[in-house]
Amino acid sequence: MTRTLDISKVRNIGIMAHIDAGKTTVSERILYYAGRTHKVGEVHEGTATMDWMPQERERGITITAAATTVEWKEHRITLIDTPGHVDFTMEVERSLRVLDGAIALFCAVGGVQPQSEKVWRQSEKYSVPKIAFINKMDRVGADFYRVLEEIQDELGANAVPVVIPIGAGEDFCGIIDLVTMRAIYYRDETLGREYYETDIPADHLATAQRWRANLIEKCAEQDDELLVRYLDTGDLPEPDLQRILRRATIARRVVPVYCGSAFRNKGIQRLLDGVVRCLPAPNEIPPIVCAREPEFNRRNPTDDDPFAALAFKIVADRHMGKLTYIRVYSGSIQSGATVLNSTRETPQRVARIFRMHANRTEPIESAHCGDIVAVVGLMETRTGDTLCHPDHPIHLEPIEFPAPVISVSIAPASSADSERLGEALHRLAEEDPTFTVTYDDETRETIISGMGELHLEIITDRLRREFNVAATISPPEVAYRETGTVPVEGAFKHVKQTGGRGQYAHVVLRLEPTDPGVGFEFVNQITGGRIPAAYIPAVEKGVIAAMRAGPYAGYPVVDMRVVLLDGSYHEVDSSDYAFQEAGRAAFVELFPKTEPELLEPIMSIQVETPEEFLGAVTGSICSRRGRIESMEARGDFRIIEGVIPLAESFGYASVLRTLTQGRGTFTLHFERYEAVPLPIAEEIARRRREQQPRRH
């Protein structure tokens, strides 16, 4: 089927920001002004269209990335509203992987915050062009120009205002468009749907002229011909200005900056204009290439090339079953077509295709290059899989997700829940790659792991509401690691004689620490056939098995290099199994001699507190083994930045609320692993050893 809309009129964008910057409020206004909804949804009232999950509406936060499609000035915009909370950063990661552009949202009071920096880095990793929107200009303490400077200094962006505010805080009443040099005022009685343009007020004219000159200069720098014309005339025509601004934005050399107040219904229409004028269409991004042989296999962003798409999100829908969100990079598909899942080498049938509007579906017959749609029928497809034409296979770069940092054990509340629990956890793990489910054979416990306390709290709440499964969970368990600190060498012989064929394997190993984050390295230095090459992988396999539960405290061993120096074998009694056992036992015997230490996850923490509670808050961080690295003033608040062990951060939300009379907030994100102080490490190891008898 032929497409009904020119691909140049398509935009695939996301909204990304720090928590509480107003992403969902901006999304709701976009839906309203584009005519997708006829009533403005409000986060604080629990009526936001894009926050459709019960947990989102109760907590007033976004948990899952919700997609919708709107029409604006003959363009179709697919919009994804992403979460701001660090526990759900996976939703941002997979959204940015498939989007062509993004709106980076900043609070006019809070400015560039820790999660702002994180999502900005994520977007840079995927080379996503961006426009910025400074929101909440109506708030006390709002400062457009300070936030603009922070974007430039802290994010290294060439941020260029396209509009500037008229007033700030209670005096914020409109914006000045620097391209058209007109002032725009919004009619409050029409919820901002109606607005009027007029001449720039005299007391703002000089400021507007100065910032227009800045805009023209930044644009002229991108084109030699325009630069000459600008130097000759001191100005540029509006069409040239728009054209070069678009080109520079798509090339990621410029970040156009808009502003407004979504809650007060001001500035959103100009932001939508910026989306269609500055951000790229799907046919303006580079061709996608095969991850395995990029020089030979690529797809151009057109319907004429063979079909290729990436599955970036899985949703378990109680009515339709498994919904797979895909981004089509080339070609097209129709309902009923068979595609190849090249990641798993299996054919899949596309049963039905939908455009999504949050949790509501709109059936369509076909999807084309540039479309982001949901598909039913791809039962064997997982997040990050490539779908393509069966006769033209390609493997797209998969999505990388952070590893979980917190674990709890989970058990069914009753025998009736036991069978349903496993199936429900499996379906949730399919949806969320940062949520993992494992079974500990020793403790006979089911362990679930995620990105934080809130993440796992939402998971257990969804088990109860969506799957009707009651479960109990243990207190959070930190994902500790073990590592050695000094090199050691030693030999081990595995010898057993049972009357028939025996077992013989002899290995000499050196264990040495590596730099943090390097992981595990196995080096084979056997010469002269002292151990046959066929047995070398078995030694490595045995070492890896031993590292899964370190001899010091039973936690996985990381950042170690194991060198196989020497050994011997027996013509008859040696085997893969014998050398695997020798490798395992040698590691278990040698590792305690490396003066092992326990490692714990260290989190970056930013606390925002009223100045009057500063002493109590800093004391609470230090009492939890935290380290304060910087403090700064922001209005009447103080911003404290530092690091804190994950183990000490549990329950801090309620502590902070108590200390600050409910006015303090904090954010955490994983930073690195660090050594646990020796007395605490020995206590953790002792508790683990005491649990050992109960594990059998």
Question: What's the whole-number mean pLDDT along residues 333-339?
Answer: 94
217-238 pLDDT, tens digit per residue, is 888 888 777 777 777 777 778 8
Residue 406, pLDDT > 80, answer no
Q: Please give the mean pLDDT across all residues of the chain.
A: 85
Q: Does residue 462 carry a pLDDT above 90?
A: no
Helix (H) or strand (E) holding 338: strand 338-341
Checking if the pLDDT of 392 tops 80, the result is yes
Query: Which pLDDT tens digit goes with each residue over 284-295?
Result: 988 887 766 666
Highest mean pLDDT among 130-134, 263-267, 441-445, 629-633: 130-134
Structure tokens at 155: 């994010």
Lowest mean per-residue pLDDT among 110-114, 160-164, 192-196, 469-473: 192-196
Q: Which domains does the chain possess?
A: 7-284 (3.40.50.300), 300-388 (2.40.30.10), 406-479 (3.30.70.870), 482-595 (3.30.230.10), 598-680 (3.30.70.240)
Kindly tell me if the per-residue pLDDT of 617 is higher than 90.
Answer: yes
Contact 395, 385 (CB under 8 A): no
Q: What is the mean pLDDT of residues 667-696?
A: 77
What was the pLDDT predicted at 634? Answer: 76
Strands (E), 93-181: 101-107, 130-135, 159-161, 163-166, 174-177
Q: What is the pLDDT of residue 47?
A: 46
The whole-angstrom separation of Cα 102 and Cα 250 is 11
Instruction: Kindly report, residue by residue over 342-352, the tens digit of the pLDDT.
Output: 999 999 999 99
pLDDT at residue 488 greater than cutoff 90: yes
Burial class (CB in 10 A: 0-12, 13-18, 19+), 517: exposed
**pLDDT confidence of 690, banded at 50, 70, 90?**
confident
Among 11-25, 431-445, 626-640, whose mean pLDDT is lowest? 431-445
Q: Confidence class of residue 694 from pLDDT cuts 50, 70 and 90? A: very low
pLDDT given at position 54: 56
Q: Say yes or no to pLDDT of 156 above 80.
A: yes
Find the mean pLDDT for residues 430-453: 79
pLDDT above 90 covers a percentage of the chain that reads 45
34 contacts 53 by C-beta, under 8 angstroms: no
